[in-house]
């Protein structure tokens, strides 16, 4: 697979001695959407800041499209757009001026038509002459996105783009992300709404305590670490788990009205037949049967808890 960003043995120790990144290795594929997941303080922002040049690394290297992000920073940085986590934005300049400023800062020639296009796609066009301080938080977020896109980057970092954002903007944003991906832009995003990542990402990286725990194709990850649940509703409640079922991973739920059997999806035999036979043998009669699959969120919570 063609890597557009390679992070090699990257470490970052802040001035106060805190080690926020520990020997991180990560390959980001060209054109993919990578979701970077991790609890608060995991090091997501630090990783993004180190790649984009806002924070200098303690050791290790980062290649952006083959260019070292320190020694060949001009080539490396001109390809990258960044939407920061905090709403760091000016106060008195206009929306249009600040977006045009970003474009110029990245060395691109002025292109009013392109800026108009981005502002329109982010529903900011009617606000283009407003001062930044007069905008609401969600509007500021849109402006930050417009600024990041102003120089037509081929790699886009979105650090919690949906924090504090209403449903409407969230939809707009994911539509935009899809469009950008269709144009071949590589997108790296962090979010605490795991269901969003589950919906949109091609691959998932989980980081905790400054270490990458795993990087996996989303579908494979769900296959590999996902658990399935079989819920059996009983006609009359059982007081305890019947003898014949004790060898299986079965629990009672809903005051004994349900038996819950948990099994791995990637195993050869799921054991469902045996469980159902054992239920039958115990003389319990069934009312209904349901199966469900664990979400990315469940997987994520398990992973992070395991490490702690």
Q: Which residues are near ligand ATP by CB under 6 A?
A: 14, 16, 18, 20, 38, 40-46, 85
Among 9, 14, 123, 164, binds other proteins (CB under 8 A): 14
The tokens for 182 are 């269709």
Sequence-ordered alpha helix ranges (H) in the chain = 44-52, 73-78, 95-105, 112-121, 137-149, 167-182, 194-200, 218-225, 272-281, 296-307
- Report CA Rg, the chain: 24
**CA dist., res. 66 & res. 68, Å (int):** 7
User: Considering CB distances under 5 to 8 angstroms, the limit depending on partner class, which of Mg ion, other proteins, ligand ATP, none binds residue 256?
Assistant: none
Binding-site member from 90, 112, 164, 237 for other proteins (CB under 8 A): 90
CA–CA separation, 143 vs 83, rounded Å? 9
Q: Which does 218 bind (CB under 5 to 8 A by kind): Mg ion, other proteins, ligand ATP, none?
A: none
DSSP string, 221-266: HHHHH-EEEEEEEESS--SS--GGGTTS-EEEETTTTEEEEEEETT
What is the SS3 assignment for 33?
strand
Nearer to other proteins (CB atom), residue 14 or residue 193: 14
The site partner of 43 among ligand ATP, Mg ion, other proteins, none (C-beta below 5 to 8 Å per kind) is: ligand ATP
Q: Which is nearer to ligand ATP, 18 or 92 (CB)?
A: 18
Nearer to other proteins, 92 or 193 (CB): 92
Sign of the CA dihedral 205, 208, 211, 214? negative
Of ligand ATP, other proteins, Mg ion, none, which one does residue 216 interact with (CB within 5 to 8 Å by kind)? none
Span from 84-92, 179-187, 225-233, 291-299 in contact with other proteins (CB under 8 A): 84-92
9: nearest Cα among 63, 69, 60: 60
Among 45, 57, 98, 258, binds Mg ion (CB under 5 A): 45
- Rounded to whole angstroms, how far apart are CA atoms 225 and 174? 26
> What, of ligand ATP, Mg ion, other proteins, none, does residue 193 touch, CB below 5 to 8 Å by kind?
none
Give the Å distances, CA to CA, from 36 to 30, 45, 141: 16, 10, 19
State which residue, 47 or 234, has the beta carbon closest to other proteins. Answer: 47
Contacting other proteins within 46-75 (CB under 8 A): 49, 52-56, 73-75
Q: Give the footprint of other proteins on this chain (CB under 8 A).
A: 14-15, 49, 52-56, 73-78, 80, 82, 84, 86, 88-90, 92-93, 97, 100-102, 104-109, 147
């Amino acid at each position: 697979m063609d890597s557009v960003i390679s992070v090699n043995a990257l470490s970052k120790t802040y001035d106060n001695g805190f080690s926020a990144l520990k020997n991180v290795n990560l390959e980001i594929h060209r054109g993919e959407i990578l979701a970077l997941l991790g609890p608060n303080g995991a090091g997501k922002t630090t990783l993004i800041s180190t790649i984009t040049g806002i924070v200098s690394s303690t050791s290790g290297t980062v290649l952006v499209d083959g260019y070292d992000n320190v020694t060949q920073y001009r080539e490396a940085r001109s390809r990258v757009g960044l939407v920061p986590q905090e709403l760091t934005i000016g106060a008195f300049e206009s929306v249009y001026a600040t977006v045009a400023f970003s474009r110029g800062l990245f060395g691109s020639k002025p292109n009013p038509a392109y800026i108009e296009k981005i502002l329109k796609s982010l529903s900011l066009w009617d606000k283009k002459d407003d001062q930044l301080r007069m905008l609401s938080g969600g509007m500021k977020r849109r402006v930050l996105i417009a600024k990041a896109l102003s120089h037509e980057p081929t790699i886009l970092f979105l650090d919690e783009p949906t924090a504090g954002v209403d449903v409407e903007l969230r939809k707009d944003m994911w539509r935009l992300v899809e469009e950008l991906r269709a144009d071949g832009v590589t997108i790296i995003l962090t979010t605490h709404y795991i269901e969003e990542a589950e919906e949109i990402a091609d691959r998932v990286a989980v980081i905790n305590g400054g270490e990458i725990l795993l990087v996996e194709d989303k579908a494979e990850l769900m296959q590999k670490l996902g658990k399935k649940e079989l819920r059996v509703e009983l006609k009359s409640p059982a007081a305890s788990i019947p003898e014949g079922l004790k060898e299986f991973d079965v629990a009672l739920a809903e005051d004994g009205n349900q038996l819950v059997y948990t099994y791995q999806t990637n195993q050869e035999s799921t054991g469902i037949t045996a469980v159902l036979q054992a239920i039958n043998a115990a003389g319990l009669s069934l009312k209904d049967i349901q199966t469900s699959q664990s979400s990315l969120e469940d997987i994520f919570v398990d992973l992070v808890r395991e490490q702690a």
